[in-house]
Homo-oligomer: A and B are copies of this chain.
Amino acid sequence: MPDSPARRRPNRQAAGVPALEPLVRELSEADDTLKQRVTGRQVAYAGHYLHLERVTAVMPDGAEVVRDVVVHPGAVVIAPLDEAGRLLLVTQFRLPAGGAMLELPAGTLDTHDGQVEEPVAAARRELEEETGYRAERMERLGGFWSAPGFSTEYLTLYLATGLTPAGQDRLAHDADEDLRLARVTLEDAIAATETGVIEDAKSIAGILMVARRLGR
């Protein structure tokens, strides 16, 4: 499994909020005092882009634990906001969920020759493939693990603005993806997170982080 730029742990920042400083200190201390030291890894299943590893680790008290870990290269999620204040969302069928879902555009980081691409490159590619638009500005708003109890997937969130249609040379999306585009005002997207119309963690987190950033 190659090193992924998405899995390099970003720095936690108190960012001028004094009340957060003790939390940041406690987390840094917990990195050491609660550390589980990995002593072994065994690939139990190697898939197309997912691996499942059985990881053995030693707890601070010396006890040994074995965990099933889904090893994932990382991903991006994009909040494309047009001039009219509408988000571009996509509807697609999600086999694991057994139904269609409304989500922010997103995608897995590509791996070429053992190198995982930079998240911002993936964000530009996925935005174009899934929506047909390019963005003048692609601003990193944050990032998060999707399921840190069992998966290494880390998603980086971008706010994409200055949208223009990609034109004739548009990147096509994967043949096994069947997507529909929806334009939804930020207010309606927020309402969709509150009513169960959007039931996707990365999309809920992304939409509500954009709302905070824009003071809605």
Residue with the highest number of chain B CB atoms closer than 10 Å, among A147, A151, A191: A147
Task: Give min CB distance, A142 to chain B, whole Å.
Answer: 6
Task: Give min CB distance, A193 to chain B, whole Å.
Answer: 7
Contact pick for A14, options B35, B149, B197, CB 8 Å: B197
A9 interface hit (Cβ, 8 Å): yes
B15 and A199 form a contact (CB under 8 A): no
CB-defined interface of A72-100 with B at 8 Å, one 1/0 digit per residue? 10000000000000000001111111111
Q: Which residues of B contact A12 (CB under 8 A)?
A: 195-197, 199
Q: Which residues of B contact A200 (CB under 8 A)?
A: 144-145, 148
Q: In the assembly, what is the distance between CA of A48 and CA of B151, in Å? A: 15
The A interface, classified by DSSP as helix, strand, loop or mixed, is: mixed
A45-B44, A193-B209 known; A95+B201 contact, CB < 8 A: no
Interface residues of A in 187-216 (CB under 8 A from B): 188, 190-202, 204-205, 208-209, 211-213
Q: In the assembly, what is the distance between CA of A182 and CA of B30, in Å? A: 12
CB-defined interface of A147-159 with B at 8 Å, one 1/0 digit per residue? 1111111110000
Q: In the assembly, what is the distance between CA of A135 and CA of B188, in Å? A: 32
A149-B108, A185-B19 known; A196+B13 contact, CB < 8 A: yes
A116 interface hit (Cβ, 8 Å): no
Task: Give min CB distance, A60 to chain B, whole Å.
Answer: 7
Identify the A interface with B (CB < 8 A). 7, 9-15, 17, 19-20, 23-24, 26-28, 30-31, 34-36, 38, 44-45, 47-48, 50, 52, 54-55, 57, 59-60, 63, 65, 67-70, 72, 91-103, 106, 108, 142-155, 175-176, 178, 180, 182, 184-185, 188, 190-202, 204-205, 208-209, 211-213
